[in-house]
Amino acid sequence: GAVVSQHPSWVICKSGTSVKIECRSLDFQATTMFWYRQFPKQSLMLMATSNEGSKATYEQGVEKDKFLINHASLTLSTLTVTSAHPEDSSFYICSARDQIVGRTSGSNTGELFFGEGSRLTVL
Amino acid sequence: SQQGEEDPQALSIQEGENATMNCSYKTSINNLQWYRQNSGRGLVHLILIRSNEREKHSGRLRVTLDTSKKSSSLLITASRAADTASYFCATDATFNYQLIWGAGTKLIIKP
């Protein structure tokens, strides 16, 4: 199946610093990528939809200036947590769909491919 | 956003037993998908069932879908310790690439 690489896997930073997380589709192109946040023992919370070449679409309650998303190419989206604070500590996960119909499974089934996640700890 | 409810929230069974998890949703869907998440890792797609399908199999996995009840079940037969993970259902209500996620079931397989 298609592979999504997310980096870094974990990061510890001081309060007030900014952290960038990268999400790459390694063997397919992704016009759209999704960024999620997951709290311990909870489900995924969609933060924003990242669109290649245009502005990201943020979910209600997610601060655009806090969580900067850039999708400059068909294989790379980045999430920057600006001026991080301890409450931003969480597990961040990206996902993408293979845009080429029929390439991976014979039809555009809507399957999402996930990165391994990035655990952010803000001290 | 979440529209799905999954039960049970947690399930602990002996290795070799079957595990059943349920998912309910609220709106009409195009398909329903099940994913697995090992602790601290990303999610892995398990199986997808379309709205016009009632049952689907993949290895030890069996998924059913009842659109009249807006519910689905995931059965894992002959469970193994490696099946220990959290399982999420996700519904695809439109073709806008967004999925709506259930709260997940944490499955523990005791050796």
Record the tokens describing residue B42, joined without a space: 């990303």
Nearest chain B residue to A38, by CA = B40
Phi, psi torsion values for A86, nearest 5 degrees: -50, -35
pLDDT digit string, tens, across residues A38-85: 988 888 999 999 988 888 999 999 999 999 999 988 899 999 999 999
Taking only residues 2 to 61 of chain B, the set having a beta carbon closer than 8 angstroms to any beta carbon of chain A reads 2, 30-31, 33, 35, 40-45, 48
pLDDT of residue A104: 42
pLDDT of residue B93: 76
Q: Provide, as residue numbers in chain A, all residues whose Cβ is less than 8 Å from the Cβ of B105.
A: none
Q: How confident is the model at residue B40 (pLDDT cuts 50, 70, 90)?
A: confident
pLDDT digit string, tens, across residues A95-110: 997 665 444 443 445 6
pLDDT of residue B95: 55
Provide CB contacts within 8 A for B10, sequence distance 6+. B105, B106, B107, B108
